[in-house]
């Protein structure tokens, strides 16, 4: 058998974005020995891409804001199927987590009275997002990284985990390989925190990087943990659409928060035409009111461009479908028009949205201070994920925790912009804290040697197959492309039964092909091999998404079906839970949505 290096930790954290770093810092601070594993170099994780800000009811800009309003906004955005306890803790604790970042050196933009500045964002009643221009994610990850490197955390960069190991029911560690040399590593751990992000790479048009292959979702599923809400996948309304090679790259919601408007090819502000009942009271009914809202008028209501992401994405799809799209199949997002309203508009735009200016200038040869951008929906964020306890973040497997995007429940059927960075901080901290105490309270576990041997054999197959395969070999890249086409075409923004059933069949066929994938070359830094191994995760997650989406016969939040375009009360009371059955087949069960306690229900009603 192939040899491997062994490492022992109280807590092993998998993933070094916002949630993983925050969990590591917390666990280490609680006295646990911590190993942190990440697929990329430290500080490159997807958190770095977050642009708009961190949602927290600091009430620095509008004194009327408080955690209750943030909680109610989050529940409304999630169409009331959220894990209410997570939404509650998130709203209560986010302000402290932001202040803590400042204490660790983060440099936020400031208000005139020298506090942390907050900006408007979709679905948030008040200006709530602490930010740094449009590079908040970079500020956050760098702050956590620079703080974390002094906390005695053992970092394993460019290392991929391919299997979680158990001792009976509980977690015992994880097994993986270092990407540089292709050598295996065994991590014995009393507790494991998954913080691996999402799975946008299952789609063709996505704002996500190569890392987003649903590793945590799939690792947890294989280890016997429950997944929840997998049918809810957020398509961000504004990704770049032109040129083709940058299709899907994110255009921050901050553009709209600063006064940017959406128009169709007829020059119409089409978002005014379709304002959902749930948001009628809070949405401006004329352009002037929308504009003064973005400029801080507290009496004004927000413009319809700042409705929730699921809704805006669907309106864009409708405009394109009905022939009112932009030349390259999107719509127009215009911030340059604000020169009619304010002096020095170009300079203002460059200061407020520096990376957007840079991104369009460099990649599309377009000056956003002069011309409108072309934008369209892009796969962005997984609401669904590992089912966890709201307080501790522990999954249904003892000792296995999850935080951030790979955990499910917090955002319900649709996430509000800005709530993900705060989610990472609040639940990263909680996961780290409870993982450390689990490690303290439980003895070390013993990993199963047979499982290790099986994993090694499985992992080396794509490389070993190359000698046998010859010309009939199946490229892992091609399988991934075909999966991306399938998910994009058949389980996208607008869904129907026939297409999703077709997707389920296609995914089954792709699984067969993936078992024959061949990776030419050796084990040293071999992206073909890495892609072949990632396929297992992508396919597992895609199957869960397609199957749950096919089952939920209603439209809710990000899950929209043209054959069932309305919400159903019956479905609204149920969540879909995915787990691996005894026979290895995927099982999906309907379970009631957690009942919101009376005092929280009151807050929701007050804010309707």
Partner 1 sequence: MSTATFKIWRGDAKGGEFRDYETEITDGMVVLDAIHQIQAESANDLAVRWNCKAGKCGSCSAEVNGMPKLMCMTRMDTIDVDKPVTVEPIKAFPTTKDLVTDVSWNFEVKKKIKKFKPRPPDAEDGTWRVAQEDVDRVQEFRKCIECFLCQDVCHVLRDHQKTEEFIGPRFLVYAAALDMHPLDTEDRLEDLKDKHGIGFCNITKCCTHVCPEHITITDNAIIPLKERVADRFYDPVMRILRALFGKKKAAKPPAAEAGAHESTKVE
Tell me if 424 contacts partner 1 by CB under 8 A.
no
Looking at residues 81 to 100 of the shown chain, list those that interact with partner 1 (rule: CB under 8 A).
Answer: 99
Answer yes or no whether residue 65 interacts with partner 1 by CB under 8 A. Answer: no
504 binds partner 1 (CB under 8 A): no
- Give every CB contact of residue 605 below 8 A, 6+ residues apart in sequence: none
Does 470 participate in binding partner 1 (rule CB under 8 A)? no
Nearer to partner 1, 399 or 418 (CB): 418
Which segment (123-131, 239-247, 500-508, 573-581) binds partner 1 by CB under 8 A?
239-247
Segment contacting partner 1 by CB under 8 A, of 67-75, 147-155, 195-203, 221-229? 147-155
Select 77 or 182, whichever has its Cβ closest to partner 1. 182
Contact code string over 290-319 relative to partner 1, x by CB under 8 A: ------------------------------
Q: Identify which range of 75-83, 107-115, 230-238, 400-408 contacts partner 1 by CB under 8 A.
A: 107-115
Query: What tokens appear for 25 in the block?
Result: 């810092």
Query: Which of 295, 344, 478, 589 is close enough to bind partner 1 by CB under 8 A?
Result: 478
Residue 347 touches partner 1, criterion: CB under 8 A: no
The interface with partner 1 within residues 536-565 (CB under 8 A) comprises none
Q: Given 256, 309, 387, 495, which residue is catalytic?
A: 256
DSSP 3-state percent helix, strand, coil across the chain (nearest 5): 40, 20, 40
Count of residues that interact with partner 1, criterion CB under 8 A: 68
Residue 342 within binding range of partner 1, rule CB under 8 A: no
- Do the Cβ atoms of 444 and 190 come closer than 8 Å? yes
Applying CB under 8 A, which part among 221-229, 308-316, 516-524, 600-608 lies near partner 1?
A: 516-524
Nearest to 240 by CA among 49, 480, 45: 49
The yes-or-no answer on residue 256 being catalytic is: yes
C-alpha dihedral (148, 154, 158, 161), degrees to nearest 10: -110
- The residue from 11, 61, 75, 138 that contacts partner 1 (CB under 8 A) is 138
Question: Where in 460-585 does DSSP place strands (E)?
Answer: 494-495, 560-561, 574-580
If one asks whether residue 526 binds partner 1 (CB under 8 A), the answer comes out as yes
Residue 423, both tokens? 């989610």
One residue of 65, 88, 139, 226 binding partner 1 per CB under 8 A: 139
The yes or no reply on residue 242 touching partner 1 (CB under 8 A) is: yes
For residue 558, give both structure tokens. 């990000």
- Among 236, 309, 387, 559, the one annotated catalytic: 236
How far CA 49 is from CA of 2, 41, 251, in Å, comes to: 37, 15, 10
Give the one residue of 11, 37, 116, 230 binding partner 1; rule: CB under 8 A. Answer: 116
Name the minimum Å distance from CB 354 to partner 1: 8
> Which residues ranging from 182 to 211 are in contact with partner 1 (CB under 8 A)?
209-211
Distance spanning both ends of the chain, measured CA to CA: 62
Handedness of CA 131, 135, 137, 142 (dihedral sign): negative
Nearer to partner 1, 5 or 280 (CB): 5
Contact pick of 1, 3, 63, 150 for partner 1 (by CB under 8 A): 150
Crossing angle for the helix pair 136-148 and 18-29, to the nearest 10 degrees: 30
Asked if 237 and 555 count as a contact pair (C-beta separation under 8 A), the reply is no
Q: Could you say which of 31, 104, 280, 329 contacts partner 1 (CB under 8 A)?
A: 104
What does the angle CA 30 – CA 36 – CA 38 come to, to the nearest 5 degrees?
Answer: 150
What does the alpha-carbon distance between residue 302 and residue 292 come to, in Å, rounded to a whole number? 9
CA neighbours closer than 13 Å in the CB half-sphere of residue 12: 30
Question: Using CB under 8 A, which of 135, 301, 411, 580 touches partner 1?
Answer: 135
CA separation for the pair 336, 370 (Å, rounded): 5
How far apart CA 340 and CA 351 sit, in angstroms, is: 18
Residue 146 sits in the site that holds partner 1 (CB under 8 A): yes
Q: Is 464 in the site for partner 1 (CB under 8 A)?
A: no
Give the span between the Cα atoms of 212 and 420, in whole angstroms: 15
CB of 132 to partner 1, least distance (A): 7
To the query of whether residue 411 is one of the catalytic residues in this protein, the response is no
CA distance 193 to 53: 25
Give whole-number Cα distances, 220 to 164, 195, 259, 302, in Å: 7, 11, 42, 40
Nearest to 25 by CA among 39, 96, 16: 16
Q: Is 485 helix (H, G, I), strand (E, B) or coil?
A: helix
Please list the active-site residues.
Answer: 236, 256
In the complex, which residues of this chain contact partner 1 (CB under 8 A)? 40-46, 48-49, 99, 102-105, 107-110, 113-116, 132-133, 135, 137-139, 142, 146-147, 149-150, 155, 157, 180, 209-211, 242-246, 249-250, 355, 358-359, 362-365, 475-478, 481, 519-522, 524-529
């Amino acid at each position: 058998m192939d040899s491997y290096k062994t490492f022992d930790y109280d807590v092993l954290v998998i993933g070094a974005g916002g949630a993983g770093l925050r969990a590591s810092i917390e666990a280490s601070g609680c006295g646990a020995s911590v190993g942190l594993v990440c697929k990329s170099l430290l500080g490159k994780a997807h958190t770095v891409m977050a642009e708009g800000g961190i949602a927290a009811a600091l009430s620095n800009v509008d004194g009327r804001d408080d955690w209750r309003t943030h909680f109610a906004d989050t529940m409304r955005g999630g169409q009331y199927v959220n894990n209410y306890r997570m939404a509650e803790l998130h709203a209560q604790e986010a302000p402290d987590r932001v202040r803590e970042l400042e204490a660790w050196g983060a440099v936020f933009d400031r208000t005139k009275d020298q506090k942390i500045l907050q900006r408007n964002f979709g679905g948030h009643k008040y200006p709530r997002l602490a930010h740094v221009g449009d590079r908040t994610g970079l500020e956050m990850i760098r702050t956590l990284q620079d703080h974390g490197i002094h906390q005695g955390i053992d970092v394993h960069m460019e290392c991929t985990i391919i299997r979680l190991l158990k001792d009976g029911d509980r977690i015992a560690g994880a097994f993986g390989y270092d990407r540089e040399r292709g050598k295996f590593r065994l991590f014995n751990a009393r507790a494991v925190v998954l913080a691996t992000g999402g799975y946008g790479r299952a789609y063709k048009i996505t704002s996500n990087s190569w890392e987003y292959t649903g590793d945590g979702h799939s690792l947890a599923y294989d280890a016997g943990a429950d997944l929840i809400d997998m049918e809810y996948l957020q398509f961000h309304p504004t990704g770049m659409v032109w040129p083709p090679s940058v299709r899907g790259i994110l255009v921050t919601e901050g553009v709209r928060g600063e006064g940017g408007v959406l128009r169709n090819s007829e020059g119409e502000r089409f978002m005014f035409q379709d304002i959902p009942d749930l948001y009628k009271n809070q949405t401006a009914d004329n352009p002037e009111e929308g504009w003064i809202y973005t400029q801080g008028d507290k009496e004004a209501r927000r413009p319809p461009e700042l409705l929730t992401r699921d809704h805006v994405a669907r309106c864009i799809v409708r405009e394109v479908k009905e022939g009112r799209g932009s030349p390259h199949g999107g719509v127009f997002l215009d911030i340059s028009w604000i020169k009619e309203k304010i002096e020095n508009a170009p300079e203002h735009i460059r200061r407020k949205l520096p990376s957007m200016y840079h991104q369009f200038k460099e990649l599309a040869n377009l000056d956003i201070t002069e011309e409108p951008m072309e934008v369209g929906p892009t796969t962005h964020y997984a609401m669904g994920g590992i089912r966890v306890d709201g307080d501790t973040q522990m999954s249904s497997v003892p000792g296995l925790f999850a935080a951030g995007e790979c955990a499910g429940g917090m955002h319900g059927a649709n996430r509000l912009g800005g709530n993900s960075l705060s989610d990472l901080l609040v639940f990263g901290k909680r996961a780290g804290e409870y993982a450390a105490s689990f490690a303290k309270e439980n003895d070390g576990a013993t990993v199963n040697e047979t499982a290790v041997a099986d994993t090694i054999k499985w992992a080396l197959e794509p490389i070993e197959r190359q000698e046998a395969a010859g010309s009939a070999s199946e490229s892992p890249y091609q399988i991934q492309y075909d999966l991306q086409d399938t998910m994009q075409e058949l389980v996208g923004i607008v869904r129907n039964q026939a297409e999703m059933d077709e997707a389920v069949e296609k995914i089954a066929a792709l699984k067969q092909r993936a078992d024959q994938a061949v990776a030419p070359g050796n084990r040293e830094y071999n992206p073909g091999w890495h892609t072949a191994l990632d396929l297992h995760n992508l396919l597992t997650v895609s199957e869960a998404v397609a199957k749950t989406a096919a089952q939920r016969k209603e439209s809710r939040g990000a899950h929209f079906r043209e054959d069932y375009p309305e919400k159903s009360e019956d479905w609204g009371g149920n969540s879909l839970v995915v787990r691996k059955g005894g026979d290895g087949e995927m099982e999906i069960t309907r379970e009631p949505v957690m009942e919101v306690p009376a005092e929280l229900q009151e807050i929701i009603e007050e804010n309707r």
